[in-house]
Amino acid sequence: MPVFAAKGTRDLLPAAMHSRLRVIQTIREVYAMFGFEPIETPAMERVETLMGKYGEEGDRLIFKILERGEGGREGKADLALRYDLTVPLARVIAMNQGLPLPFKRYQIQPVWRADRPQKGRFREFYQCDGDIVGSKSLVSDAECIAMAHLALERLGFADFVVHVNHRALLRALVAAAGVADRETDVLIAVDKLDKIGRDGVTKELLERGIPAGSVDRLWEILARPSDLDAVEAAIVEAAHSASDAASDAARDAAAAAADLRTIFAHLRALGASRVVFDGTLARGLGYYTGAVYEVKLEGLPGQDGASTGVGTVAAGGRYDGLIGMFSGKQVPAVGISIGLERILTVMEERGMLTGERTSVRALVTMFSPETQTASLELAAKLRAAGVPCEVWLGEPGALGKQFRYADQRGIPYALVLGPDEIAAGTVAIKSLGTGDQERVPALGLAALLLG
């Protein structure tokens, strides 16, 4: 029978893994540069740990694991694969309340979602998270954004923009439109704006039962969505003719706008320049309480001058209420997550990956059965000197076959140690790229291969 990988998953062969590990290492180095420490958590969590944290749509995408025994036969689940890395972090903090705060952690691990697979979107994928727990300072928000900003620069991206908004502004927007009791429905729809456009969002809002007049007011307030002053003023103006709830929300909006201005000032000081306000950015996860942000690749101009946008590659925000769900006390927290799969997909499409096929620098060939011991000793010395090398595992002799194998593997050099080389204390080194071959002293071989 045909053998297939599970839908929404894929196997990663060596060529892909080399590129992947280089990207992960770059992100890891940037996170460490900002003082973040690594942690890992189990792939599985108790189902009650995850449920109710991501909103109605998110909860539907959680992969549940059936109980053992009778409960499983009845369809009951007690465990689930983690949906993200943030909720597990909140659980970790609640279980380890002696950790010194602020606690800065990064975590690079896979997560799972029962989503519809599509280009750049899988059911199993890696997130690269950085979070700060225990700090109300807006510098924390700015540092998370600046960290992702630097990571993308280090990876070679020059066309990304960080879109920033605030959940209090969104809450005030909904209240000013006269539908404060429908906040979740409104934000779920608005969160899809970059995917389905204004007409699509309008249609979904109406289908969710939002009055047409309220929909019109939403778009009036968002007439200039990239102008923080204009959005704040429009919310305040609309609130005057709305409910008391809208007036309260308008006051919160003024405070949120002030917070955003402070965050933008901190980002300028941190050297993060590709940052804009975006009044339509909603972020669908239910646990966000303050500033929210998404990093989007705006795309390179095509032949017709139009942008070839490729969407969100990182996102995050402040979630001051999440840890309290587990610990019983409020602990402020903020974080950002870089989507590794989307990053790699775009880098491959743009030719940004080097295409290195192996980290092995040389194949140590086997000239004959009599020289095997000398070849193995050479490999051991090279490895001790820090040179990744491979020894030929087939029958000794037939050097042409060994050279072809090395070339197919992408190994740049083949080393030949025959009787003449052993007697002279030399090694024949063959470049598989040019075909050139020369004898070099065995003592200087490691430095040559590492150079």
Of 268, 294, 319, the domain-final residue: 319
**304/383 same-domain check:** no
Assessment of whether the complete model's pTM goes beyond 0.75: yes
- Within-domain flag for 127: no
Given this model, what pLDDT does residue 165 score? 96
Bigger pLDDT: 119 or 451?
451
- Within-domain flag for 406: yes
pLDDT exceeds cutoff 80 at 240: no
**278/216 same-domain check:** yes
**251/399 same-domain check:** no
Given this model, what pLDDT does residue 244 score? 64
Domain residues for 293? 137-319
User: Distances in Å between the alpha carbon of 107 and those of 39, 45, 84, 158?
Assistant: 6, 16, 11, 25
Sequential DSSP letters for 358-413: -S--EEE----GGGHHHHHHHHHHHHHTT--EEE--S-S--HHHHHHHHHHHT--E
Given this model, what pLDDT does residue 242 score? 59
- Sorted by sequence, the CB contacts under 8 Å of residue 248 that are 6+ apart come out as 175
Could you tell me the CATH number of the domain that includes residue 380? 3.40.50.800
**Number of domains the chain contains:** 2
pLDDT exceeds cutoff 90 at 401: yes
pLDDT exceeds cutoff 50 at 304: no
**148/289 same-domain check:** yes
- Within-domain flag for 18: no
Of 266, 301, 319, the domain-final residue: 319
Amino acid at 370: E
Could you tell me the CATH number of the domain that includes residue 190? 3.30.930.10
Of 319, 349, 384, the domain-final residue: 319
- Sorted by sequence, the CB contacts under 8 Å of residue 197 that are 6+ apart come out as none
Which residue, 81, 250, 97, 96, is CA-closest to 175?
Answer: 250
**378/303 same-domain check:** no
Which residue, 262, 279, 182, is CA-closest to 222?
Answer: 279
Binning pLDDT at 50, 70 and 90, where does residue 305 land?
A: very low
**241/370 same-domain check:** no
- Within-domain flag for 42: no
pLDDT for 22-76, tens place per residue? 999 999 999 999 999 999 999 999 999 999 888 888 899 999 999 988 888 888 9
What's the CA gap between 129 and 336, in Å, rounded?
A: 6
For residues 216, 218, 220, 224, the Cα torsion angle rounded to the nearest 10 degrees is: -150
Q: Token pair for residue 383?
A: 């490895």
